[in-house]
């Protein structure tokens, strides 16, 4: 019997940014097309942030020069713009609200420290019983430990939980532990899956 749902955060609860937006960033910064994501997220600074070795602010100041941001003020200005472009996937949030009260809910995210502040700012923190942020814990998916700790804090067994993530590798890791996994592709597909399994009413 399913008792809990565990959600990834980025590109699941938050909306996927369109490629056109990244191209606009690259044009503004004078970067080659298709390079900004690799500069930012393939970096050691990002890995350090995900493991809590750097704060989000320290990450931005580490990566700023590689983005062509020559001063601290330029880095802060671009950081504010980048973060302002983050928006909630309202259709996913609607599904979470439908699950809330019927199941235990958690977020399990590879994120820099301070995810709970974002959730509070977006007025959704109260929807979740557990928030596991890799930057606060020093553990990242697909390592089994974050999954085990999240389930322990929820008070459920692996077979009683469903994990939803847009990264197949993370879903595979969850399934190896006996957790039911759903690879997120869109809110509409997720809704269909939840209705099919009778987790939410049609």
What band does 202 get if pLDDT is binned at 50, 70 and 90? confident
Q: What per-residue confidence (pLDDT) applies to 184?
A: 98
The listed CATH number (3.40.50.970, 3.80.10.10, 2.40.160.10, 3.40.50.1000) that belongs to domain 4-15+88-196? 3.40.50.1000
pLDDT at 112 exceeding the cut of 90:
yes
Which residue, among 200, 201, 183, 189, has the nearest Cα to 7 in the 3D structure?
183
Mean pLDDT rounded to a whole number for the chain: 97
The domains of the chain are located at: 4-15+88-196, 19-84
Q: Render pLDDT for 138-197 as a digit per residue (tens, 0 to 9).
A: 999 999 999 999 999 999 999 999 999 999 999 999 999 999 999 999 999 999 999 999
Q: What per-residue confidence (pLDDT) applies to 36?
A: 97
Q: Render pLDDT for 49-81 as a digit per residue (tens, 0 to 9).
A: 999 999 999 999 999 999 999 999 999 999 999
SS3 52: coil
Which residue, among 62, 52, 50, 42, has the nearest Cα to 9 in the 3D structure?
50
Largest CA distance in the chain: 55
Rounded alpha-carbon distances, angstroms, from residue 75 to 21, 49, 67, 96 = 18, 17, 9, 34
Residue identified by tokens 């697909």 is 142
| pTM more than 0.95 | yes
């Amino acid at each position: 019997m399913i008792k809990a749902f565990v959600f990834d955060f980025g590109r699941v609860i938050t909306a996927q940014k369109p490629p056109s937006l990244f191209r606009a960033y690259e044009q503004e910064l004078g970067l080659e097309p298709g390079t900004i994501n690799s500069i930012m997220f393939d970096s050691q600074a990002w890995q350090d942030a995900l493991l809590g070795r750097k704060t989000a602010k320290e990450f931005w100041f580490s990566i700023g020069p590689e983005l062509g941001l020559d001063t601290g003020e330029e880095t802060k200005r671009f950081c504010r713009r980048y973060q302002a472009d983050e928006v909630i996937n309202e259709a996913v949030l609607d599904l979470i609200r439908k699950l809330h009260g019927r199941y235990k809910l958690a977020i399990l995210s590879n994120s820099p420290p301070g995810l709970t502040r974002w959730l509070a700012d977006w007025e959704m923190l109260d929807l979740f019983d557990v928030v596991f942020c890799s930057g606060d814990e020093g553990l990242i998916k697909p390592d089994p430990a974050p999954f085990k700790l999240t389930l322990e804090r929820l008070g459920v067994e692996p077979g009683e939980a469903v994990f939803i993530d847009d990264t197949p590798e993370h879903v595979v890791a969850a399934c190896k532990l006996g957790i039911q996994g759903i690879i997120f592709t869109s809110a509409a597909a997720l809704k269909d899956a939840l209705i099919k399994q009778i987790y939410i009413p049609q």
